[in-house]
Amino acid sequence: MTTVKTDGATLGVESFGDRVAPLVLLAGGTTMLSWPDALCEAIARGGRHVVRYDLRDSGESTTIDPDAPAYTLRDLAADAAALARELDDRPAHLAGIGVGGMVAQVAALDHPDAFEALTLVGTRPVAPGPVDDDLPDHDAATMGRLFSRAMPDWSDRAAVAEFAAGGAEILGDDPVTARATAERRWDRTPGIEPAVQMANHLGMVFAKLDCTPRWRERLSALAIPALVVHGRRDPFFPVGNGEALARELPRARLLVLERAATAIRDEDTGEVAAAMLAMS
């Protein structure tokens, strides 16, 4: 892992595959580790240069004050475009997962010259907050269980990993994978900001961003091919969000992972990688 400086931030990045191959840029959700190693490796084996990165205020990227972020959603979109241009002179295939999928949508709209294809995983076409009538909201019972839990001691690696595993079990994801990923996240950024790095990025940072103006109404102008991937069992952004997003994009393909919830399972990485490779 290393870092790359853009005009607005220093971003933590990790590369897979041949650096001269066409670029697939993966915007993280909480951190870059939202993208499974197995998926990154599968795309790289398909002849792509895969780079996953941390959004600001997560992982190894610039962290200043997540309680009062001094940047907007459009700044995060500009980070993606600047990173893509820094890594390759050619337009990139941009992918975003969760909140990273929101960043990716705005990046493709604001910087169309930087991207040739778009993959959006487990996300929706509007920002956090009140949602449109056709977009199913978070499952209330699941969210109640998820957010009513006592916070762990963020300086205790084992406690943080157990907390992540418990959250994954509530959401319908694999707790073993979640525990191992949480340990890796903690190891990357121990000490001074463990709560920032490990707590829910959507709740702590993203919901506090200026996400105006709305971008859903602009999606019909995107001429690049798009892949929308969504877990059938996702209680956080129920699958209707992915279905609505795919309807907004003129060249979209919807891929519903029947047994997945919020995370990409290792069992699904081959199918997702093949669908992404088919686009560019």
Q: Is residue 28 part of a domain?
A: yes
Q: Is residue 186 part of a domain?
A: no
Query: Mean pLDDT throughout 176-184?
Result: 94
Q: Is residue 157 part of a domain?
A: no
Amino acid letter at 261? A
**Number of folded domains in the chain?**
1
Q: Is residue 228 part of a domain?
A: yes
Q: Is residue 154 part of a domain?
A: no
- Count the residues in the chain: 280
Backbone φ and ψ of 223, nearest 5°:
-95, -5
Query: Mean pLDDT throughout 41-65?
Result: 91
pLDDT at 221: 96
Q: Is residue 174 part of a domain?
A: no
pLDDT at 198: 46
- pLDDT tops 90 at residue 266: yes
pLDDT at 205: 63
pLDDT at 195: 46
pLDDT at 201: 46
Contact 100, 107 (CB under 8 A): no
pLDDT digits 0-9 by tens, 190-248: 544 444 444 444 455 667 788 889 999 999 999 999 999 999 999 999 999 999 999 99
Residue 58, token pair as written in the block: 């997560």
Residues in CB range of 146: below 8 A, 6 or more apart: 167, 170, 171
Q: Is residue 113 part of a domain?
A: yes
What is the pTM for the complete model shown?
Answer: 0.94
The domain containing residue 268 runs over which residues? 2-139+199-277
> Mean pLDDT, the chain, as a whole number?
91
Rama region for 156: left / alpha / beta (φ>0; ψ in -120 to 50; rest): beta
User: Mean pLDDT lowest for which of 57-66, 131-140, 141-150?
Assistant: 57-66
Q: Is residue 133 part of a domain?
A: yes
What is 185-199 written as a DSSP string?
A: HHHHS-SSSHHHHHS
pLDDT at 196: 45
Query: Mean pLDDT throughout 12-25?
Result: 97
Which domain CATH number covers 105?
A: 3.40.50.1820
